[in-house]
Amino acid sequence: MFRTMSGTLLLALAAATFAPASADACGGFFCNNQPIDQSGEKILFVMDEGHVTAHIQIQYQGTSEQFSWVVPTTVVPEVSVGTDEIFPILSGETQPYVSREYSERNCEDRGGYFGAQDGASDAGAGPDGDIDGDADYDGVDIVDSGIVGPFEWVTLDSEDTEALLDWLRENDYVIPEAAYPIVDSYVSADSYFVGLKLTKDSETGDLQPIVLSMDTDEACVPLRLTAIAATDNMPVYVWFVGRGRAVSTNWPDLVLDDVQLHHPAARGGRYGYYGGYYGNDPYADLVSNAIDAAGGRAFVTDFAGASWPLLRAIDSGRYETSRIAGLTDAQRVMDELSRQGFSASQLLMGILAEFMPVPDGVEARDFYNCPSCYVDETYTFDPVGLAQALEDRIAGPLREIESDVARQTHLTRLYTTISPSEMTEDPFFGINRDLPLVDRPREATVIRDCRGTRSDADDFEEITTENGHHFCAALDGTDAPPAPLVERLVQYDVSGAGEVVEDNTREIDAAAYCGAGGLPPPVGGDAGGGGGLCVAVPGLPVGAGTLALLAGAACVLVLRRRK
């Protein structure tokens, strides 16, 4: 017996993503030897008593002059900047993966099915004169403004939608006409509006997550305004650190039908063992389809557990940026970055390009992987500026996040996919200390049955899932179960066990089948009755032949494709 594992915000008006570098094999610093997470909208909430801090990743593609970003808030926030480096760390600590424990039976004539695959694993404001605080716009109040990192920011308050829109347009914020009624709905709800623009000397490559610190008990993601620039089935990842499991208080929590997740059809058939949560991603497809089946608005709890592993992963004490300030040899800089554990990210690549530029005619990745291959002691750069940028954009913000996480006990990741037409209600979130934890593995036990023959044509698997479903399936994956994608929908609040909105457990168990002795229907459909099979319906007896005629028994006809 052995186990294999498989690893499987755009907010407001800023849209698009940065493309990750290709994962070519190499021997240097920028080798991308870790899987790249799917692009999507990402936000981290730190939930203190009466206080919420939001770290919002801003994804944008375009010119710096055209960049503008607006987000509604329920209270006046303090504004600062964070680091993109926290998001891959969060993903690494919360990414769900499939774990299956395999064994075999009736395979002796083949020397063991798994012999050839032994050990296989699928792991997987104000300054520069750009914000016109003195302009005569009755009905618009500039509550606060300033500069943080590469951004000019302003917090606005208004009870007049037209005046607010006029102010934004006059100050070069791009507000699509389709957004006008959505902005009006937030104005009617007494929202404040935080606006960002890049300072004159900043470029889009300088973008950092914006951090909003607010005196409130409830977190919210303003998806209604996001709809203006969103794409269909846009992934949304929301992380929370707090003193309990985080839940949406107005969107239901969705429990997937894990029969669908572990069925051979989800793994590509006969030899297509589930290939991970990156690239061709059956988990993401299953979540997206299940959420659509649930009405388009729901979250899956990917993880809810202790927050201390996140502290260990951040480990900001390893960063000693002052050491880099004294280095004048480019190769020694790269060696020191590697020693301190800086991530080979696009953010780091951008910082290096700014302070340790690439020589003409050399690819950036090649140069930073081996500076000594391309330059000698005559090459000069700015190690002091490099060290300061590393502190300001990576190490310093991570230290602040680490301090916030250290005060909490739990880490939660909620995940959804959503299309613009479904963004009609903003999700709100709170902490519920009454709920159980959710671990990352999605587990199952799998028995491969060779039927005592040398041919694998009739092989099947008998599978028991983490949710307690038991079924058999042809190895080629052609008999995907006709069951719901959604096992349960539960609406949670900040206390209690929640209200079950939908429960399809009985239907899932009725659709999952195994024949007498653990075998699926015989190949060719010769079990009598034209290929039918009497299967278990919860609470009713299971049998074969004449038992189907007994009162109180249930027989479900399962038609099998003839081979």
Are 369 and 348 spatial neighbours (Cβ–Cβ below 8 Å)? no
User: Which pLDDT belongs to residue 295?
Assistant: 94
Q: Do 230 and 196 share a structural domain?
A: yes
Q: Do 227 and 365 share a structural domain?
A: no
In the chain, the number of structural domains is 2
- Between 86-94 and 396-406, two packed helices, what is the crossing angle to 10 degrees? 40
Asked whether residue 284 is domain-assigned, the answer is: yes
Pairing mode of beta strands 253-256, 486-491? antiparallel
pTM of the prediction? 0.79
Q: Do 373 and 248 share a structural domain?
A: no
Asked whether residue 464 is domain-assigned, the answer is: no
For the segment 443-497, what is each residue's pLDDT rounded down to a tens digit? 999 998 888 777 777 788 899 999 999 988 887 766 666 678 999 999 999 999 9
For the segment 296-312, what is each residue's pLDDT rounded down to a tens digit? 999 999 999 999 999 99
Asked whether residue 501 is domain-assigned, the answer is: no
Q: Specify which residues 51 forms β-bridges with.
A: 48
Q: Do 298 and 336 share a structural domain?
A: no
**Local structure of 2: helix, strand or coil:** strand
Q: Do 322 and 173 share a structural domain?
A: no
Asked whether residue 337 is domain-assigned, the answer is: yes
CA-nearest of 290, 287, 263 to 274 is 263
Q: Do 353 and 253 share a structural domain?
A: no
User: Which pLDDT belongs to residue 39?
Assistant: 52
User: Which pLDDT belongs to residue 63?
Assistant: 74
Q: Do 303 and 324 share a structural domain?
A: no
Q: Do 300 and 153 share a structural domain?
A: yes
Measured distance between the N- and C-terminal CA atoms of the chain, rounded to whole angstroms:
30
Our CA dihedral for 426, 427, 430, 432, rounded to 10 degrees, sits at: 150
- Judge residue 317's burial from the number of C-beta atoms within 10 Å of its C-beta, 0-12 exposed, 13-18 middle, 19 or more buried: exposed
- Judge residue 136's burial from the number of C-beta atoms within 10 Å of its C-beta, 0-12 exposed, 13-18 middle, 19 or more buried: exposed
CA-nearest of 81, 77, 73, 37 to 55 is 81
Asked whether residue 499 is domain-assigned, the answer is: no
DSSP output for 326-391: T---HHHHHHHHHHHT----HHHHHHHHHHSPPPTTS-HHHHHH-GGGT--TT----HHHHHHHHI
Are 457 and 563 spatial neighbours (Cβ–Cβ below 8 Å)? yes
For tokens 């470029």, name the residue: 203
* E strand residue ranges, 106-252: 140-148, 151-158, 192-198, 210-214, 219-220, 234-242, 245-248
Q: Do 392 and 284 share a structural domain?
A: no
Integer Cα distance of 90 and 125 in angstroms: 31
Q: 30 phi and psi, to 5 degrees?
A: -95, 80
Indicate if the alpha-carbon torsion angle 453, 456, 458, 464 is positive or negative.
positive
Asked whether residue 263 is domain-assigned, the answer is: yes
Indicate if the alpha-carbon torsion angle 229, 234, 235, 239 is positive or negative.
positive
Indicate if the alpha-carbon torsion angle 38, 435, 248, 69 is positive or negative.
negative
Asked whether residue 28 is domain-assigned, the answer is: yes
Pairing mode of beta strands 410-418, 300-306? antiparallel
**Local structure of 401: helix, strand or coil:** helix
Q: Do 126 and 64 share a structural domain?
A: yes
User: Which pLDDT belongs to residue 523?
Assistant: 46
Buried b (16+ CB within 10 A) or exposed e, 492-515: bebeeebeebbebbebbbbbbbbb
Amino acid 239 reads W
CA-nearest of 79, 245, 218 to 152 is 79
Q: Do 371 and 299 share a structural domain?
A: no
CA-nearest of 323, 325, 328, 327 to 376 is 328
Integer Cα distance of 472 and 267 in angstroms: 15
Give me 51's structure tokens.
Answer: 């206080």
Counting as low any pLDDT under 70, the low residues of the chain are 1-40, 61, 109-137, 204-205, 267-281, 477-482, 513, 515-563
Integer Cα distance of 254 and 492 in angstroms: 11
User: Which pLDDT belongs to residue 509?
Assistant: 86
Look at residues 399, 418, 453 and tell me which one is the last residue of a structural domain.
Answer: 399
User: Which pLDDT belongs to residue 35?
Assistant: 34
Instruction: Put the strands of the sheet holding 470-474 in their side by side order.
Output: 2-7, 97-105, 441-449, 460-465, 470-474
Integer Cα distance of 238 and 42 in angstroms: 6
Which runs of consecutive H residues, i.e. helices, occur in 171-265?
180-188, 223-226, 258-262
Q: Do 51 and 6 share a structural domain?
A: yes
Asked whether residue 50 is domain-assigned, the answer is: yes
Give the range of the structural domain holding residue 412, as residue numbers without chain letter.
2-112+121-307+408-432
